[in-house]
Amino acid sequence: MRKPIIAGNWKMNKTPAEAAALVSELKPLVADAACDVVVCTPAVNFAAVSELIAGTNIALGSQNMHWEEKGAFTGELSASMLKASGVTYVILGHSERRQYFAETDETVNRKTLAAVKAGLIPIVCVGELKEQRLAGYTDALVTYQTLIALSGLTPEQVADVVIAYEPVWAIGTGLTATDEQANETIGVIRQAVRSVYGEAADKIRIQYGGSMNPKNAHGLMKQPEIDGGLIGGASLTAADFAKVVHFEKAPA
């Protein structure tokens, strides 16, 4: 049985004071969550957030990292820096990083290997553009992105990774993949993992992301292949994010 994982991706939002206010409000609302709960904040908030979540069921996540351990990489953060700041999860290869910051499948792979080596849990993002879906390339693309990202890991390591399937056309647009579309593509990703890593495919958790919110989370999470969500906009208010965390309750 895979434990569901709901992660908030705050993107470039929230100052330390705002982050502290959001997490303080969130803590009691998700204290009884049946799933893993993660907040991926901008790095300037790590100190404030890690202090507030100590001893709670909320884990801290980063939105990026560099693959090198240290050196002349101005503006970058290493896996060991994240680890020492209380970070447990790190989002890698988000489509916004691929689109605006020249992230490639190869750099995502390097980062994934470095994260695992440092004891961080990567949340590796894959997903197709609208034109790629319309042209029928979705399955081939997510298979390729997934297998390149994981290349070099052992099956045991792959079992602990999290993949986020995020159709790019559904991110921040209010358009969601249908429950069936999301389930089907996540099934394709799981099959790709199985083809190389065998039974690790039954353990690896694969989230859906893209305009997931309190209204659609229940239906998406009922799908057998969907193990969680990566939540952007709806993670910026405690009440909405808590409702997604409690996806088992039908929307009011």
Q: How far is CA 172 from CA 214, 216, 246, in A?
A: 15, 14, 21
Q: Is 233 in the site for ligand PGA (CB under 6 A)?
A: yes
Give the separation between CA 63 and CA 90, rounded to whole angstroms: 6
Q: Is 212 in the site for ligand PGA (CB under 6 A)?
A: yes
The least distance separating ligand PGA from the CB of residue 208, rounded to whole angstroms, comes to 10
Give the separation between CA 11 and CA 9, rounded to whole angstroms: 5
The least distance separating ligand PGA from the CB of residue 77, rounded to whole angstroms, comes to 19
Does 94 qualify as catalytic in the annotation? yes
The least distance separating ligand PGA from the CB of residue 24, rounded to whole angstroms, comes to 22
| Residue closest to ligand PGA, measured at CB | 232
216 in helix, strand or coil?
coil
Nearer to ligand PGA, 141 or 200 (CB): 141
Q: Which stretch binds ligand PGA (CB under 6 A): 52-60, 101-109, 183-191, 230-238?
A: 230-238
The least distance separating ligand PGA from the CB of residue 154, rounded to whole angstroms, comes to 27
Nearest to 242 by CA among 100, 58, 43: 58
Q: Which stretch binds ligand PGA (CB under 6 A): 71-79, 104-112, 164-172, 194-202?
A: 164-172
Cα dihedral 211→214→216→220 (10° resolution): 90
The least distance separating ligand PGA from the CB of residue 235, rounded to whole angstroms, comes to 7
Q: Which of 113, 231, 242, 245 binds ligand PGA (CB under 6 A)?
A: 231
Q: Which of 128, 166, 225, 240 binds ligand PGA (CB under 6 A)?
A: 166
Q: Is 171 in the site for ligand PGA (CB under 6 A)?
A: yes
Q: Report the alpha-carbon angle 168-61-203, nearest 5.
A: 75
Does 66 qualify as catalytic in the annotation? no
Of the residues 96, 103, 128, 166, only one is catalytic, namely: 166
Nearer to ligand PGA, 58 or 200 (CB): 58
Q: Is 93 in the site for ligand PGA (CB under 6 A)?
A: no
Q: Which stretch binds ligand PGA (CB under 6 A): 17-25, 129-137, 183-191, 226-234?
A: 226-234
Where do the DSSP E strands lie in 20-149?
Answer: 36-40, 58-62, 87-92, 121-126
Phi-psi label, residue 4: left if phi above 0, alpha if psi -120 to 50, beta otherwise? beta
Give the separation between CA 221 and CA 218, rounded to whole angstroms: 5
Q: Is 232 in the site for ligand PGA (CB under 6 A)?
A: yes
Helix (H) or strand (E) holding 134: helix 130-134
Say which residues have a Cβ less than 8 Å from residue 42's Cβ, sequence separation at least 6: 10, 12, 13, 14, 19, 63
Q: Is 210 in the site for ligand PGA (CB under 6 A)?
A: yes
Nearest to 119 by CA among 164, 152, 86, 155: 86
Q: Which chain residues interact with ligand PGA by CB under 6 A?
A: 9, 166, 171-172, 209-212, 230-234
Question: Which residues are marked as active site?
Answer: 94, 166
